[in-house]
Structure 1
Amino acid sequence: MMHSKFNFPILLGNLALGLAALGSATAYAENVKIGLLADMSGVYADVSGKGEIVAANLAIADFLKKTPGWKVELLTGDHQNKPDIASSRARQWIDVDHVDMVMNGANSATGLAIAKVAAQKKVIDFDTGSATTRLTNEDCTPYTVQYVYDTYMLSIDTVRALVARGKKSWFFITADYAFGHSLQASASEAIKKDGGSVKGSVRHPINSSDFSSYILQAQSSGANAIGLANAGGDAINAIKAAHDFGLTKKQSLVGLLLFINDIHSLTLPVAQGMYLTTAWYWDMNDKTRAFAKRYFAQMQKMPNMAQAGTYSAITTYLNAVKSAGTKNSDKVMAVLHKTTINDLFTANGSIRKDGKMLHQAYLMQVKSPAESKYPWDYYKVVETLPRDQVAIPLSESTCPLVTKS
C-alpha cells in the first residue's frame, strides 16, 4: 500500500511531463510563420506584388479549413528589387521573427540573396519569381526550391520550338542583370545547337522607359526573331516600342518571360501573334478556373503563373510540415523530396535533389482580337512541354548536391 502511494505521484508527474512535452511539440508544429518578399512598388509589382499576397492568403485559408487548430502567419515585405534589402529583411525575419520558411517573388538577384541567407540559417526557401538557373546549379542549397520557372524552361523550349518552325536567326534585347544574362545565354546556346544563329544583342538597365534605340538595332540586325530577355514593365515598354516602329510586320517578337498581366496591359491588338512559354494558364481546366475566379474577386484581374505557383508552393510546404510532424527544415525537406504534387498548378509535380520543381509547361501564342471570345481569353496552346524537357538534365547539372554517375 505504501509502495503504491509512494509511486503514484511520481507516475502522475512523469505523465504530466510527457503530456507537456507532447503538447509543446504539437504547438510547435502547429504555429507556422512564412515570410514573403516581393516587388510591391517597382517594375514587377503587377506580376508579383499584391497578387502573390492574395494567392498566399488563399492557400493558407484553404489549408486551415482542412487543418483546424493550426495557426499560420504570413509576413510580407517589399524587396524593391534590391539584393541588400532582400537579404537584410530575410535575416531579420529569421533571426528576430523566427519565420519557418521564406519566399521570393520576382527578381533573380533578390532570389539569390535570399537563398544565401536561408542556407546559412538552415531555413527553407521557396522561390516563385527567380528565373536564373544559378538557384539550382552552382548556387543550389539543401533548402531552396525553385518552383515556377527558370531560364531553361523559358528560353530553351521556346526557341527550339520556334527554330523548328523556321525562326532561325535571332537578336536579343536583354535586361542587364543576372536574370537577363542567364535567359539570353540559355536561349543562344539552344538556337545554335538547333542550327540557328544569333545576329546580335543589346542590354538595357532595369526599369527602362525608352526602348527606341534598342528596337532600331533589332530591326537593323535582319534577324527574323527578336527575343525579349526581360520582364515586367521592361517587356511591356519594349513590345510597345516594337509595335510603334512596325517591327512585328517583318520580324517575330518572342517574349521569353511574359505574364498574362503584360498581355492585358498591352491589349491584344498590340500583343497578338507573340510567342511565349508559361508554366500555367488560368483557363486550362476546371481547377484553374475555380482558383482564378476566387483570385479575380479580390484583384479584378486573372492570376499569372507566379501567383498560382505561390498558392501551390505554400500549400505544398504546409502539407509537408503536417506530414513531417515538425518544422525542422531537414525533415520537412526530406518529405518534400518524396512528395508528388497534384493541385491546380501542376499534375505529378516533384522536387529534385537540386531543388528544381518539375512540372509541365506550355508554348503559347497570343490570340488576335477576333480569336478571343471572352475577357482574359488571351492564349492558344501551340505545344505542351512535358516535365522532363523543361529542366536542365541532372547529367548537366553543376549543383554540388547532385551526385554525378
Structure 2
Amino acid sequence: MLTLLLSVGLANAQTTQPVKIGVLNDQSGIYADLAGPGSVVAAKLAVEDAGGEVLGRPIEIMVADHQGKPDIGANLARQWYDVDGVSAIVDLPVSSIALAVQQVAREKNKIVLFSSASSSDLLGKSCAPTSFQWTFNTASSARSTATAILKDGGDSWYFVAADYAFGHAMVRDSTEVITKSGGKVVGTAWHPLGTTDFASYLLQAQSSGANVVAFVSGGSDFINVVKQANEFGIADGGQKIVSMQTFLSDVHSIGLPIAKNLTLTSAFYHDLDDETKAWSKRFAAQMNGRMPTMAQAGVYSAVRHYIKGVAKAGSTDSAAVAAAMRGIPVEDMMTHGAKIRDDGWVMRDLYLFRVKTPEESKAPWDYYSFISKISAEDAAPPRLTSCTLGG
C-alpha cells in the first residue's frame, strides 16, 4: 500500500511540473533591441493569453543570453533540453547560432522555433522535423524586397554584407532572384560582425556603378552602415539604398532624417490594423513605450501556437506536438489561418513598406508607410526538402 501511495504521489508531482519554454537570444549585445528583453515580454504575453497553463500544468518562461557565440548557444540548448526540462526553445537571433542549436534539437528530437534567425538553410540542408522557421527568412525577404526593387528599375546591384551565415544566405538567395529576373550583381563587399568603420566597403559600393546598394547586416552593424552611407552621400549620388532585412528598432535608432524612403519588407507592423495596434499597446506598456519588432511579435505567435500544439497533442512529446502544430492553422494578431509546411515554414503574408519622412510621421514610432501586401504564396521560400516526422 505504501509503495502504491508513493507511486501515485510521484505521478501527481510529475504531471504538475511546469511546461518550460526557453527564450534564447542576445540580451545585451547588437541584437538586443530587435529581440532581447522584448522577446521575453512577447513570450510572457503569449503565456498570459493561454491562461498561464496547459494540460493542467503551469507554463514557465526561461531566459538565457547566447552572447553571440554558437558554442555557447548550443551548450545552453543541451543544458535546457537534458537537465532543466525545457520542452521548446524560441527566438535565436544570429543564424550561425540558430544552426548550431538546430543540430542539438535534431539530435535530441526537441522543438525549436526560430523567430529572429533568417538563414534559409534552416529549412534546407539543416532542417529538422521538430524545428520551425516562424517569421521570415533570407529567401522570403529576397523574393519580396528584390522583386519590388527590380520592378522599380533597380537592375544592377552591389551588396555590402555581413560575413557570416545570415549574410551569405541572403546574398545567395537575393542573387538568384535578381539574375532570374534579368538583373545582375556587380559585386559584394563582406564585412565582419561588429564592424564600426564601413568606409572602405561603401567606397567600393559607390564606385561599382550599380544603381542599387543593398545592405545585408543586422543590429548595430546595419545602423552604422546606413548612417555612414548617408555621410558618404550614396543616395544623393543617385544610387538607391535598400535593406534586405530591417527591423523597426533599427529605424528607431537611425532616425527618420537618415532612414527616410528606405524600402523594406516586414512580417509585422504595430500600426497595420486594429489587432496589431491592441497587442502592440500591451507590449509597449511593459517596454517603456517601445513598439515591437517583427521578431518579437513572431516570438509571441510561435509560443502561442506551441501551447496550442501541446494542448492538442495532450502531451509535451516533441514528435506529437510538432505534428499537432502542423495540423492546425496559425491564428493570432499577426497571422491569419496560416498553414505550416512540412519543412517548418509558416505560410504567412509579408508586407512591403517605405520608411516615412520626418514630415510624414505624426506620432512616436509612426515610421512605416504601407505599400502592398505580398501573399504567403508569393513570399514563401522554395520548398527544398521535407522534414516531416518519419519522412
TM-score (norm 1): 0.91
Show the counterpart of 1:202. Answer: 189
Report if aligned partners of 2:160, 2:191 keep a CA contact under 8 Å in 1.
yes
Establish whether residue 357 from structure 1 lines up as the match of residue 328 from structure 2.
Answer: no
Evaluate the alpha carbon distance shift between residue 115 and residue 25 of structure 1 in structure 2; reply closer, same or farther with a 3 A threshold: farther
* 1:252 to 2:226 alignment: no
User: How do 1:235-250 and structure 2 match up within 5 A?
Assistant: 235-249=222-236, 250=238
Q: Deviations over 1:117-138 (max 9, x none)?
A: 1111111111111111111111
Contact 1:354 1:402 in 2 (8 A): no
CA-to-aligned-CA distance 1:323-355 (integer Å, 9 cap, x gap): 111111111111111111111121111211101
* Alignment check: 8 A CA contact 1:104 1:110 kept: no
Query: Per chain length, whose mean CA-contact separation is higher, i.e. which structure has more relative contact order (CA < 8 Å, sep 6+)?
Result: 2
- Report deviation, 1:371: 1.4
- d(CA) in 2 for partners of 1:367, 1:66: 41
Give the deviation of 1:315 after TM superposition. Answer: 0.6
Q: 1:152 aligns with which of 132, 136, 139?
A: 139
2:78 to 75, 91, 95: 91
Deviation at 1:399?
4.6
Verify the 8 A CA contact 2:90 2:303 in the aligned structure 1: no
Structure 2: gaps spanning 5 or more residues: none
What displacement does 1:372 show?
Answer: 1.3
Cα RMSD after superposing both structures: 2.2
Name whichever structure is richer in helix by fraction. Answer: 1
**Distance in 1 between residues matched to 2:13 and 2:198, nearest whole Å:** 56
Aligned to 1:72: 59
| Distance in 2 of aligned mates of 1:275 and 1:335 | 37
1:270 counterpart residue number: 258
Q: What do the CA deviations read for 1:51-71 (whole angstroms, capped 9, x no partner)? A: 111111111122125869531
Residues 285-337 of structure 1, C-alpha deviations (whole Å, 9 max, x = no match): 11111111111111121000000000111110011101111111111111111
TM-superposed deviation, 1:29: 7.6
Amino acid in the other structure paired with 2:245: L
User: What is the distance in 1 between the residues matched to 2:286 and 2:139?
Assistant: 33
2:378 to 382, 385, 389: 389
Residue 244 to residue 402, structure 1, CA distance change in 2 (3 Å): farther
Contact 1:364 1:379 in 2 (8 A): yes
Secondary structure at the counterpart of residue 358 of structure 1: coil
| Aligned residue among 268, 272, 278 for 1:280 | 268
Q: Partner of 1:6 in structure 2?
A: none
Give the counterpart of 1:130 among 73, 97, 117.
Answer: 117
Q: Does 1:292 align with 2:280?
A: yes
- The one-letter code sitting in structure 1 at the alignment partner of 2:79 is Q
Q: Separation in 2 of the partners of 1:196 and 1:29? A: 59
**CA separation of 1:134/1:350 partners in 2, compared to 1, >3 Å: closer, same or farther?**
same
CA deviation vs aligned residue, 1:208-247 (integer Å, no higher than 9, x gap): 1111111111111111111111111111000000111111
Identity %: 40
Map of 2:295 onto structure 1? 306
Superposed CA deviations along residues 99-127 of structure 1, whole A, max 9, x for unmatched, are 11112331101101111111111111111
Shift in CA distance, 333/401, structure 1 to aligned 2, threshold 3 Å: closer
- Give matches, 1:36-75, under 5 Å: 36-64=23-51, 69-75=56-62
SS in 1 for 2:336: coil
In the other structure, the counterpart of 2:314 is 325
Q: Is 1:212 the counterpart of 2:220 in the alignment?
A: no
Deviation at 1:392, TM superposition (A): 2.3
Change (3 A) 1:231 1:217: same
Partner-residue secondary structure (3-state), 1:359: coil
The structure with more radius of gyration: 1
Give distance in 1, aligned partners of 2:374 and 2:305.
Answer: 23
Map Cα deviations across residues 356-404 of structure 1 (whole Å, 9 max, x no partner).
111000111101111112111111122211011222233xx14565999
Contact kept in structure 2, 1:136 and 1:355, CA below 8 Å: yes
Q: Secondary structure at the match of 1:372?
A: coil
| Aligned match of 1:105 | 92
Q: Structure 2 CA distance, aligned partners of 1:125 and 1:230?
A: 24
Change (3 A) 1:29 1:308: farther
The one-letter amino acid paired with 1:279 is: A
Contact conserved, 2:342 with 2:386, CA < 8 A, in 1?
no
Structure 1's consecutive aligned runs of 4 or more residues displaced over 6 angstroms after TM superposition are: none
Aligned to 1:5: none
Evaluate the alpha carbon distance shift between residue 374 and residue 31 of structure 1 in structure 2; reply closer, same or farther with a 3 A threshold: same
Q: Which runs of 5+ in 1 are unaligned?
A: 1-8
Q: Alignment partner for residue 344 of structure 1, among 333, 336, 349?
A: 333
Corresponding position: 1:119 with 2:106: yes
Tell me the secondary structure at the aligned position of residue 154 of structure 2: coil
1:182 to 155, 162, 169: 169
- 2:225 aligns to what SS in structure 1? helix
Counterpart contact for 1:28–1:327, Cα < 8 Å: no
